[in-house]
Amino acid sequence: MSSPRLSVIVPAYNEEKRIGETLKYIINYLSKQEYSWEIVVVDDGSRDRTSQTVKDLGLAGVRVVRNDPNLGKGGSVKRGMLEAKGEFRLFCDADNATPFEEIEKFWPAINEKNVVIGSRYMKGSNIVIEQTFLRRLLSRLGNILVQIILLPGLPDTQCGFKMFTGESAERIFPRQTVNRWGFDMEILYIARKLGYKVRQVPVNWYDRTGSTLQSSNVFLKTFSELLKIRWNGIAGRYR
């Protein structure tokens, strides 16, 4: 069997209530395209019926793999990227915060020299449902620190909508060491270290409800991971 043109990786943790709707939305879009595709759902050790819900749907072109124990979102994306077979590989969030049809903007930008990421902070982007003031404040502060310490010129590293070629994914993700929320910063840092250009594309984005994470906790953990990534770079661990 030939490899699909596109692999879609969907990391999921306790998403039984909305994973079905998200998958049907993505498939509704993909079924209208002329290229071949697959969807890889990575259940990150969910305590609910996320895996079984996906299996019960019986959707063609969708497979689910399960982490046991929980690895974190970064660990799930890494596993999905390396399990995937596509010529191009995109990961997106299970809550469909970035509508899947935004992928249309990525195709002109992706090639063997580029990694393409969605950005909520560019001209042409649109945050349809605003975050709370605290989340916006911590997000912007975090973005400033990321640009100063690690990734100058990238104001939004955390948008969960990123595309890689299969070749770049298989070079970048084996070098990934951060499994939690700072993994986005690390994979983009590794990409630049390996000579890829990170292209930014403005996207529409919806602040979905349902997250149980505390913004302040995520900020502190992500900041510590930012320092770890920087040290790894200085120590030459991404060569």
Segments of the chain assigned E as strands: 6-12, 37-43, 62-66, 88-92, 114-119, 126-129, 161-165, 197-202, 204-206
Q: What is the pairing mode between strands 114-119 and 161-165?
A: antiparallel
- Higher local confidence (pLDDT), 57 or 216: 57
pLDDT in tens, 121-174: 889 898 887 667 777 777 778 788 899 999 999 999 999 999 999 999 999 999
The predicted pLDDT at position 213 comes to: 47
Counting every residue written for the chain, the total comes to 239
Phi, psi at 93, each rounded to 5°: -80, 150
Global pTM reads 0.92
CA dihedral 212, 217, 223, 229 (to 10 degrees): -50
Q: For the chain, give every domain's residue range.
A: 6-234
CATH class in words for 6-234: alpha beta
pLDDT at 183: 96
Dist. CA 222–CA 227, nearest whole Å:
9
